[in-house]
Structure formats: structure tokens, C-alpha cells
Amino acid sequence: MTALLSIRDLRVRYRRDGIEVPALKGVGLEVVAGERLAIIGESGSGKSTLALAVAGLLARGAEIGGTLEWSASQSQMPRSFAPPSGLPAISPARGEIGSSADGSSPPATLEIGEGGDDGLISPLAGEMPGRAEGGVPERRPPAIGENQAPRLGRDIGFVFQDPSSSLDPVMPVGKQIAEVACTHLELTWPEAFAKAKTLLQRVRLPDPDSALRAYPHQLSGGQKQRVAIAAAIAAGPRLLIADEATSALDTIVQAEIVALIRRLVAEDGMTLIFISHDIALAASLADRIAVLRHGELVELGETRRLIEAPRHAYTRGLLEAHLGLDAKPLLDRQGASA
Amino acid sequence: MSVLAVSSLTKRYRRGSKPFAAVDDVSFEINPAETLALAGPSGSGKSTIARLVLRLIEPDAGRIAFEGADFLALSGAALRARRARLQMVFQDPLAAFNPRATVARVLDDPLRIHNIATRAERPRRIAALLERVGLDAGLAARAIHEISGGQRQRVAIARAIATRPSLIVLDEAVSALDVSVRGQILELLLDLQRQERIAYLFISHDLGVIRAVAHRVVILDAGRIAESGDARAVIADPQSAIGKALVAATPRLTRSRP
């Protein structure tokens, strides 16, 4: 068991209306290379904050403490990659990075890349990072250990809940996927476009040739999420983070997307962090489950053990609150007391 | 007699230049104190049916009888009066209410509009409504955006029951809630149903929730009824292709993993 990512004492505080709100209060866990780890919790548990922190996507103004150690030494990137000089300098000690302003004007290649990324990662609160904005978005990843920071898009693929807001509405989806490949894999545009077509086939979009030229609004919700996944894995990231990636989809499409994620993760040997509010869905996919509550890790364990013998009362509560197809209907429970 | 009887309801839209039926010849009835669930994938017509029943949109064909009267024939004052008996709760109460309004204001509106209580009586009625849905009367002065999602959905239910309805349309009303809060809201709905004999048209994509609270279920596919019947029986042994697909896609905690 080698850790791809070690999270130690991760603390995040947001500032809202002048009040500091803690979102994560010292969370520590290791993400094992090649595993499917689910992070579950209710609203306010910090599960999305954790995902955003790992991806370096926390909104400006978030205060971060603790360390994230990324094992880039085991990197098995398809080819060596020189990080663009425009990347913000990362102080190895304590999290704070020079903001994007320090990077002065980013190189042209980076600008395209970030534009593509922005298309993918737009739903940050309070930001409208349209393509026109270009440049490096504000990112404040926490301290990274001895190795260089993982780069979003190249090392980490991120799939958001709402593909309608994570895809650029005025750019053909093929181009959005190709941009990621072009930026991170040093491909020529025709190569990147061919890669985009292969990716659309891999995510099983019907008729990839015409899908390449389709705009997001011409696709269904499930198809858009397939496109977002194709873009997320375009550069062959080692870690795929799916943040409530199926929550806006209906049950049938959700099951299809979960199956797709499972297949792609297995085929590419990716590590998966699957963020969900749904303990049953998480259990159907994950090797291990981490339960967060109010910014703290309350339980972490193998899926089967955690489901069958939860150690923490809160985990038990989540299991009891789950209304499965074998649960005793509330109608009966009520009828008994009536 | 049924509270609501829908027959041959049809609503067509255009997709580009092609007409298609969002709701296609749908018929069902709901009895007093009964919960009828509408299930189906996205685009199956669930929410369109809800909007037709509420007369937020007009059907192209079909009939809607509400409390025995031809609901589609009503207009003006008669429609407004009848609407007091037919209420709704949506998925996102923050979108349904003015976020800056106070809880008291949200609950005052139906009491005033439907002449249910005089100005002097209303504060007492509002306090009673809050208590009925398990909220502290002190919450009345708070703004909608200041209270939690679960509290907001309780306020939405309080508002719905303020006019003593015989039917409440619940369109994904618990879908956005945390599971712990969801259970409490479902219990509240069942309790209200028992006490007040309210019927629910319960729209959900979640068969687990439907099985927990609904008496009967109608499964829709592309605007048509694929199958219907006793909720537990249908979910235990679905006959239609879409019913089978929905059941198969529902995550199970006991499933043995590959």
C-alpha cells in the first residue's frame, strides 16, 4: 500500500460576512494509490472542501493549514512534462503560495490550458472564470511535501456535480476535451482532436464524430457528464476526483455514470476519490469509505466493514436513515404507532 | 370519491420543429389521505404532470377533476378559491420564497390572501402553524435565508397546510435534504396526512423514498404510464422495462460487490 496522497491535519476556514467559518478541522487520511476512496457526509461536513483543497481549487479568501503530500516520485506520466514557468511558486513550508498575480503574464500555452480548465472547473463560488479571462485562476493549494504540487488537469482530473456549469456553453465539446490534451500532453492540435475523439468513444458517447462538434446544450445531462469525464481524464491523471458527479442525474443515468467511472478508473489504473452524500451509492463503488461530519473525519474503513459493523454512532445513523428497497417503510412504522 | 382524478391528460411541446408529447394520455386518481407517487427518469413527464395539476400550465387534452369539480373550467375568483385546497411544496424552498422575507411574512400571505384569519388573529395562527411542523414559534421573525434547509422545508409545509388543503403536490420535496433531515420531514408529512387526511401527489426519482411513504406508484416513461399499482408490490416486482431499470439502478447497501 503506497499513498498517492497524504493529507495531514488539513484545516480550512472560510470567511463569510466577516465571520470565520471552519470547514475542515484537522482532517488526516492517506489516499492509497489505485484505490477507490469514497468521502461521504451531509451538507456542511466538509467533503467538497476536502476535494477542492486536494485539487487546489479553494476559493480565494479560504485559509488553509496542514499538509498535502503528493507522491509525484511514483509518477507514471505517459511522457515527461516540464511544468510551465507561469505556475505560481509554491512555498514548501506552509501552504501559502504566491497568488496568480505573481506569475505575471502567463505563457500562451498556459493561457489556453487554463481556459480549457476553466471550462471544466467554473462553478467556484463567486467566480465567473470565463474563457475571456484567461490567465491563471486564483488557487491556494496547501503545502505540498517534498515533491512538486500536482497539477489540476494533468495529475488530477476533477468532475463536478453540474456538467452544465462546468462545460463551456459556447465551445464544441470536442474542442474542450482537446484543449486539455493539447495543454498537458504537448500534443499538436490535430493529435489532441484525435485524442478527444478516442476519449468520446471511451466514455461511450454515441456517434463520437458528430459529438465532437456538438455544443453542451445539444447533449443530455448524462451525456454532458460523460464529456466532463472525458475532459477530466484527457491528460491521463493519476487521481480522479468526482465531487457529487452523479447527484444531479436521475437514478438510471447515475448508475450508468458510476459504471463508467468504475471502468475508466480500472482501465487507466487511476486512483479515485468519490465524494457523495449517498452512503449506498458510495458503498457500491468504493473500496474504502471516509465519513466526514462538521469538518471532522469520524470514521474511515473498508467498505464492507464500515457498512456491516460501523464503529461510530454517526455512521450508524447514516445507515439507518438510508431508505433502501429493503428498509421497513415509514408507513408501517407510523401505522404501528397510530 | 377521489380528491383528484386526471384522465387522458396530454401536454405537447415542440423540440425544434418536431412536436413531442411531454405527457401522453395519462390517467390516475388519488383518494383522500392517500399518497400517490410519480416515478420515472428525467424527462418522463413527472414534473409536467405536477404543473398541469397545479394549473401552472394548461394541457392540450384531457380532464382534471379536483374535489369533484372540473378544475380546468375554473377561472378568476373561483379558481383562486379552489386553489387554497390544492397546495404545493417544491424541491428548493429558497427558490420558492423571497429569501429576504421573514418566516412570518411567508406564512402570513396565504392566511391573508385566502381570508383565513383576521390581521389580529394571524400572529397566533402563524405560531400554531410553526408548532404544527415542529418549529419554534420564535423562528417567525427570522429571514428565510437565515434558517437551515430543513427548517425552510418545514416552513414550506407550514405554508402549504395553512389553507387546509385536501391535496399537496410534493415535487422532489425531500430530494435536496440531508438523509437525517429527510427522515424527519417524511415523518412530518405522514403525521399530517394521518391527522388532516391530506392526499399527496408525491413526485420523486428515488424509489427508496417512494417505497417508504407512498401507497401507490405510477411509473412514467417518455410521458406515458409504463405501469402502476401498490408501491411496494410494483417496486418488489416491476413488470415494465423502465420499472425494472429503475429498480436495478437504485443503489443497495446489501449488494455484494464484484
- pLDDT 10s digits, B106-144: 999 999 999 999 999 999 999 999 999 999 999 999 999
SS3 A132: helix
State residue B107's pLDDT score. Answer: 96
**Residues of chain A contacting B214 with CB distance shorter than 8 Å:** 331
Count of positions (residues) in chain A: 338
The answer to whether the CB atoms of A221 and B42 lie below 8 A apart is yes
The answer to whether the CB atoms of B246 and A252 lie below 8 A apart is yes
Instruction: Give me the CATH number covering residue A111.
Output: 3.40.50.300
Which residue of A lies nearest to B215 if distances are taken between CA atoms?
A331
Backbone angles phi, psi at B3, to 5 degrees: -70, -45
Q: Distance from CA of residue A237 to its chain's centroid?
A: 11
Radius of gyration of chain A (CA): 20
The answer to whether the CB atoms of A330 and B212 lie below 8 A apart is yes
* Burial state string for A166-190 with b = 16 or more CB within 10 A and e = fewer than 16: bbbeebbbbbbbbbbbbbbbebeee
> Which of A225, A323, A328 should be substituted to probe chain B, the one whose Cβ sees the most B Cβ atoms within 10 Å?
A323
The answer to whether the CB atoms of A252 and B179 lie below 8 A apart is no
Cell 434547509 -> residue: B149
Count of domains in chain A? 1
Q: Which of B180, B191, B255 sits opposite A321 (nearest CB)?
A: B180
Q: What are the C-alpha distances in Å from B253 to residues A250, A285, B156, B238?
A: 18, 11, 31, 20
Q: Which residues pair with A301 in a beta bridge?
A: A289
Which pLDDT tens digit goes with each residue over A69-79?
998 654 443 33
Interface size A-B, in CB pairs within 8 Å, comes to 106
Domain residues of chain B, as ranges?
Answer: 4-85+165-249, 96-164
* Burial state string for B122-144 with b = 16 or more CB within 10 A and e = fewer than 16: beebbbebbebbbbebebbebeb
How would you write the pLDDT of chain A (338 residues) with one tens digit per residue? Answer: 789 999 999 999 998 778 888 999 999 999 999 999 999 999 999 999 999 999 999 988 899 999 999 986 544 433 333 333 333 333 333 333 333 333 333 332 222 233 333 333 333 333 333 333 333 443 444 555 445 678 899 999 999 999 888 899 999 999 999 999 999 999 999 999 999 999 999 999 999 999 999 999 999 999 999 999 999 999 999 999 999 999 989 999 999 999 999 999 999 999 999 999 999 999 999 999 999 999 999 999 999 999 999 999 999 999 999 999 988 888 887 554 43
State residue A100's pLDDT score. Answer: 34
pLDDT along chain B (258 residues), means of 10: 96 88 97 98 94 96 97 94 94 85 95 93 96 94 92 95 97 92 95 96 96 97 98 97 97 64
List of E strands, chain A: 3-16, 19-32, 36-40, 63-70, 143-144, 156-159, 239-243, 271-276, 288-293, 296-302
Cell 410553526 -> residue: B130
Which residue of A lies nearest to B148 if distances are taken between CA atoms?
A43
State residue B30's pLDDT score. Answer: 98
Domain around A313: 3-77+84-337
Q: Chain A: give the shortest CA distance to residue B188, in Å.
A: 10
Which pLDDT tens digit goes with each residue over A277-329?
999 999 999 999 999 999 999 999 999 999 999 999 999 999 999 999 988 88
Give the end-to-end CA distance of chain B in Å, rounded to a whole number.
50
Which pLDDT tens digit goes with each residue over B208-218?
999 999 999 99
Superfamily holding B4-85+165-249:
P-loop containing nucleotide triphosphate hydrolases (3.40.50.300)
The answer to whether the CB atoms of B194 and A221 lie below 8 A apart is no
> Which of B44, B148, B190, B253 should be substituted to probe chain A, the one whose Cβ sees the most A Cβ atoms within 10 Å?
B253
CA-based nearest residue to B174, from B163, B190, B197 = B190
Q: Could you give the maximum distance between any two Cα atoms of chain A, in Å?
A: 70
Q: Chain B: give the shortest CA distance to residue A188, in Å.
A: 37
Q: Which of B205, B232, B257 sits opposite A251 (nearest CB)?
A: B205
3-state SS, one letter per residue, for chain B: CCCEEEEEEEEEEEECCEEEEEEEEEEEEECCCCEEEEECCCCCCHHHHHHHHCCCCCCCEEEEEECCEEHHHCCHHHHHHHHCCEEEECCCHHHHCCCCCEHHHHHHHHHHHCCCCCCCCHHHHHHHHHHHCCCCHHHHHCEHHHCCHHHHHHHHHHHHHCCCCCEEEEECCCCCCCHHHHHHHHHHHHHHHHHHCCEEEEECCCHHHHHHHCCEEEEEECCEEEEEEEHHHHHHCCCCHHHHHHHHHCCCCCCCCC
CA-based nearest residue to A329, from B195, B215, B194 = B215
Q: Chain A: give the shortest CA distance to residue B58, in Å.
A: 26
Which residue of B lies nearest to A277 if distances are taken between CA atoms?
B178
**Residues of chain A contacting B251 with CB distance shorter than 8 Å:** 255, 278, 280-281, 283-284, 324
Q: Which of B209, B211, B253 sits opposite A280 (nearest CB)?
A: B253
Which residues of A touch chain B, with CB atoms under 8 Å apart? 42-43, 220-221, 249-256, 277-281, 283-284, 303-304, 307, 317-319, 321-327, 329-331, 334, 338
Q: Chain A: give the shortest CA distance to residue B178, in Å.
A: 6
Q: B91-94 — which CB contacts under 8 Å span 24+ positions?
A: B91/B171, B91/B172, B91/B173, B91/B175, B91/B176, B92/B176, B93/B144, B93/B149, B93/B152, B93/B153, B93/B155, B93/B156, B94/B144, B94/B145, B94/B149, B94/B152
> Which of B36, B42, B180 should be substituted to probe chain A, the one whose Cβ sees the most A Cβ atoms within 10 Å?
B42
- What distance in Å separates the CA atoms of residue A94 and residue A145, rounded to the nearest whole number? 10
Q: Which of A255, A323, A338 sits opposite B209 (nearest CB)?
A: A323
> Which of B179, B186, B232 should be substituted to probe chain A, the one whose Cβ sees the most A Cβ atoms within 10 Å?
B179
State residue A133's pLDDT score. Answer: 35
Q: Distance from CA of residue B189 to its chain's centroid?
A: 11
Which pLDDT tens digit goes with each residue over B240-258?
999 999 999 999 987 444 4
- What distance in Å separates the CA atoms of residue A188 and residue A121, rounded to the nearest whole number? 23
